[in-house]
């Protein structure tokens, strides 16, 4: 009953965009603004679906988009925001005018993540990597924290449970009776 799936229609072009299609879409949007994206292809004279037009405009054709690699200042801002927000790329992109969420995510995965590892910083926790190797308890706690994508409370609860287990293990190995 709901909406028809995107791009399932016969006669809708798929695959790479041509320069002519880009020109048509840009001309239409700059002249008329973007109305309902589902109507744009027909109004602009394109054999594409609305979603394809929206994504093409948002990620490639918008005049306010910045091109090229992120600057050092932008990269540092991405690192700082990632430490606070995690992989919420659209929220991070909102703080970097002219950059798309997809572009930032791709730059993170191909450049920044590797840089941080090279610098000895865990890209997930943003803590020094060598800190993880101090003791087995620290390593397993970092792993639990890094792998958890749950809310902060769930992570804190896991951390407390792990701490309790480590204390129990230590008291058993030391010959103590109390938990």
User: How do the pLDDT tens digits run along the chain, 179 residues long?
Assistant: 566 666 666 678 889 999 999 999 999 999 998 889 999 999 999 999 999 999 999 999 999 999 898 999 999 999 999 999 999 999 999 999 999 999 999 999 999 999 999 999 999 999 998 765 554 444 444 444 444 444 455 555 554 554 554 444 434 433 444 44
The answer to whether the beta carbons of residues 78 and 108 sit under 8 Å apart is: yes
pLDDT confidence of residue 2: 65
Q: How far apart are CA 52 and CA 115, in angstroms?
A: 33
The answer to whether the beta carbons of residues 46 and 21 sit under 8 Å apart is: yes
Structural domain 72-118, CATH architecture: Orthogonal Bundle (1.10)
Q: Where are any strands of DSSP class E within the chain?
A: none
3-state SS assignment for residue 121: strand
pLDDT confidence of residue 6: 62
pLDDT confidence of residue 43: 94
Largest separation between any pair of C-alpha atoms in the chain: 80
- Find the helix or strand (DSSP H, E) in which 89 lies: helix 89-94
Q: How far apart are CA 29 and CA 47, in angstroms?
A: 16
pLDDT confidence of residue 173: 38
pLDDT confidence of residue 3: 64
Which of 50, 63, 58, 54 minimizes the C-alpha distance to 6?
50
pLDDT confidence of residue 47: 94
Fold: same for 19-61 and 72-118 = yes
Q: Where are the domains of the chain?
A: 19-61, 72-118, 134-172
pLDDT confidence of residue 35: 84
The answer to whether the beta carbons of residues 136 and 157 sit under 8 Å apart is: no
Q: How far apart are CA 174 and CA 168, in angstroms?
A: 10
Length of the chain, in residues: 179
The answer to whether the beta carbons of residues 76 and 96 sit under 8 Å apart is: no
Note the pTM of the prediction, 2 decimals: 0.61
**What CATH topology corresponds to 19-61?**
Arc Repressor Mutant, subunit A (1.10.10)
């Amino acid at each position: 009953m709901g909406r028809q799936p995107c791009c399932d229609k016969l006669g809708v072009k798929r695959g790479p965009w041509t320069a002519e299609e880009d020109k048509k879409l840009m001309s239409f949007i700059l002249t008329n603004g973007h109305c309902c994206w589902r109507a744009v292809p027909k109004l602009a004279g394109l054999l594409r679906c609305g979603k394809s037009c929206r994504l093409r405009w948002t990620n490639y054709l918008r005049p306010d988009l910045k091109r090229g690699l992120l600057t050092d200042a932008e990269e540092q801002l991405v690192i700082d925001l990632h430490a606070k927000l995690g992989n919420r790329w659209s929220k991070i992109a909102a703080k970097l005018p002219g950059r798309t969420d997809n572009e930032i995510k791709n730059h993170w995965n191909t450049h920044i993540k590797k840089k941080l590892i090279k610098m000895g910083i865990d890209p997930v926790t943003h803590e020094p990597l060598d800190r993880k190797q101090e003791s087995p308890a620290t390593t397993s706690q970092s792993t639990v924290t890094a792998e958890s994508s749950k809310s902060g409370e769930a992570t804190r609860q896991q951390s407390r449970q792990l701490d309790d287990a480590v204390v129990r293990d230590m008291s058993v190995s030391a010959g103590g009776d109390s938990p």
